[in-house]
Amino acid sequence: MENNNEFKPFVPANKVMPEFTAVSIILGLLLAVIFGGANAYLGLRVGMTVSASIPAAVISMGVIRKILRRNSILENNMVQTIGSAGESLAAGAIFTLPALFMWAAEGRAENPSLVEISIIAICGGILGVLFMIPLRSALIVKEHGTLAYPEGTACAEVLIAGEEGGAKSFTVFSGLGISALYKLIADGLKIFPSEVDFTITPYKGAGVGIDVLPALLGVGYICGAKVSSYLFAGGVLAWLVIMPIIALFGGNAVIFPADVSVAELWAAKGTWGLWNNYVKYIGAGAVAAGGIISLIKTFPLIIRTFKEAIGGFGKNSGVSRTERDIPMKYLIAGIIVIAVIMWLVPVIPVNFFGALIIILFGFFFATVSSRMVGLVGSSNNPVSGMAIATLLISTFLLKVTGNAGIQGMISAIVIGSVICIVAAMAGDVSQDLKCGYIVGATPIKQQIGEMLGCVVAAIAIGGILYLLNSAWGYGTSELPAPQATLMQMVVEGVMDGNLPWSLVFIGAFIAVVFEVVGIPILPVAIGLYLPIHLSTPIMAGGLVRLFIEKKKLRDERKREEAVQSGILYSSGLIAGEGIVGLLLAVLAVIPLGKGTVASLIDLSDKFSLGNIGALVFFALLIFSVLKFTVFSKKTQ
């Protein structure tokens, strides 16, 4: 990558183009609500959300350039900046707030009000934006050649390709079209499963798997082989080392949090039983410890960044357009105002102590989240892992300070919810600012746009949560809300004193070992926390890029062209899956007869190619990357 001192954005700093316009604001806010709603349902159904930056950019180009006949890359970038805020805010909210509804269903509390949900979401969203602002120079600019920010880079490539047209545009949109068709076949028609899972029977407790999805392959390619290998190493450690050890030595012992013996759990639920009951806690401990170690190591950089920002009071007028941030005095004032609102507004059940925890932990996890998504992308940012770490500590502190019982648990969930939204937003803002840095956007306008998107999405998310709760209820087969259920269990476990601390500390000390031997902690910890099914396709993408970088082509320039074509194509893969993923989420909530539109197009009961078909299709997807890189006529 380019050295950041030599980097020149697509739109020069001295060029002024339409950017923060009425068109970009209205379209961006509309997409923020749409993406927020679709991702809320998707996350409550399957426990994962999809990044909305690239889909928003593609939709923006279609509407602004084709329909409105306007032509400004910065205007398109502003639309995706505002639109992606809704997705990130929804991700943070749905991982925690449904726990409040579940306690209400049990008769232990009342449902949170719409006003309460909205204020919680607004506070978390705006804090996530404000905490990221002083870090932009250190993480986005100064580490431009080190932190990839794959979604942000991919989004910039999509915007630039759409602006330049020609071969670059063809490569991006070829990837987009192939990915969209692939995703529709896999998760819409369900002709083959998108997740392939194998249990290694002779090696009790072990298993392997792969999510054969284009976005994961694209993220792996953009990240490269090194980062991908760290992620995969964490998955191998969990699924081929730790889980077999548990199965070997657990035997007939009942190990909390499971309520049956390890042998019975293995017989009934296989590898997923071991992962859900044990490895997830180990991974959460590793992520938490990795985050703390990362913060300690980057603390001098953070202090230096704050000093530079404080020294910039009132100097925005002398700074170039592409370096202009919200001034630090307004940033600090905003943080203080949010803290006071959380402390004094009656509908938020947080006292002064809780507000202080949110500010301290919020900045910590915003920093960790920003650096983490720079390494592995927002789609693999374990926000729930950070929320678990927050809930562990905040619930314990609330308990020892006398805030026990259901009110203490509600306060803990609210604290965890704000932190979760902060982490999700910080990751999204980082990707958006990276995209803006590449295309030449104005940072202060992007930051204001992010906050506008937060406020509108926060107002909408309360109604969405109430609608889904009224339709099916959380924790049901129709809407299992897996992350929120886990958060509920963590808080109840700490309050009742029966959390599996041994598992959490095992993960923490594994992270310490990584640090001692010089292995980057966070990517390996993330691989340990996430199922190996996610790190395997990412590893495949990294290996494809390594193959292209090592292959002998006609000259060095041709090799570089091949690598860059792969980045463009991978950007299209991420965009295509994101758009169709959102479309399928919408179809899943549209009723039709006794089911939904999504169930109508599901062909899995009538025809399925099975796991072999899934692997064949994924192999063809890998070949398509090679076709647009080393096998392209341009590189021959």
Please say if the pLDDT value at position 299 is more than 80: no
Answer positive or negative: Cα dihedral of 520, 526, 532, 535.
Answer: negative
Question: Which H or E element spans position 503?
Answer: helix 501-517
Closest CA to 520 of 318, 212, 345, 294: 294
Cβ partners under 8 Å of residue 76, min gap 6: 24, 57, 60, 61, 64, 65, 159, 162
Query: Residue 148: left if φ>0, alpha if ψ -120 to 50, beta else—which one?
Result: alpha
Distance from C-alpha of 513 to C-alpha of 176, rounded to nearest angstrom: 41
6 vs 64, higher pLDDT? 64
pLDDT band at residue 610 under the 50/70/90 scheme: very high
Distance from C-alpha of 86 to C-alpha of 90, rounded to nearest angstrom: 6
Distance from C-alpha of 414 to C-alpha of 409, rounded to nearest angstrom: 9
Mean pLDDT, the chain, as a whole number?
86
Distance from C-alpha of 57 to C-alpha of 347, rounded to nearest angstrom: 36
Distance from C-alpha of 9 to C-alpha of 271, rounded to nearest angstrom: 47
What's the first-to-final CA gap in the chain, in angstroms?
Answer: 23
Rg of the chain over all Cα atoms, to the nearest angstrom: 23
> DSSP letter at 192?
S
pLDDT band at residue 631 under the 50/70/90 scheme: confident
Cβ partners under 8 Å of residue 631, min gap 6: none
Q: Which residues does residue 195 pair with via DSSP β-bridges, in sequence order?
A: 211
Query: What confidence tens digit (pLDDT) does each residue in 417-431 have?
Result: 999 999 999 999 999
State the helix-helix crossing angle for 214-223 and 225-237, rounded to 10 degrees. Answer: 120
Query: What confidence tens digit (pLDDT) does each residue in 141-195 have?
Result: 888 877 888 889 988 988 888 766 556 678 888 998 999 999 999 999 999 999 9
Closest CA to 364 of 447, 417, 314, 298: 298
53 vs 181, higher pLDDT? 181
pLDDT band at residue 313 under the 50/70/90 scheme: very low
Query: What confidence tens digit (pLDDT) does each residue in 379-402 have?
Result: 666 676 777 778 888 888 888 888
HEC profile of 483-499: HHHHHHHHHHHHHHCCC
Distance from C-alpha of 33 to C-alpha of 36, rounded to nearest angstrom: 5
Please say if the pLDDT value at position 209 is more than 80: yes
Please say if the pLDDT value at position 308 is more than 70: no
Tell me how many degrees the CA angle 161-165-166 measures, rounded to the nearest 5. 115
CB 17 within 8 A of CB 73: yes
552 vs 436, higher pLDDT? 436
Composition of the chain by helix, strand, coil, percent to 5: 75, 5, 25
- When pLDDT is averaged across residues 344-367 and rounded to a whole number, the result is 86
Distance from C-alpha of 511 to C-alpha of 522, rounded to nearest angstrom: 8
Tell me how many degrees the CA angle 469-475-477 measures, rounded to the nearest 5. 100
238 vs 42, higher pLDDT? 238
Q: Which of 131-140, 551-560, 618-627 has the highest mean pLDDT?
A: 618-627
User: Max CA-CA distance within the chain?
Assistant: 71
Distance from C-alpha of 201 to C-alpha of 207, rounded to nearest angstrom: 8
pLDDT band at residue 129 under the 50/70/90 scheme: very high
CB 187 within 8 A of CB 609: no
- When pLDDT is averaged across residues 66-73 and rounded to a whole number, the result is 80
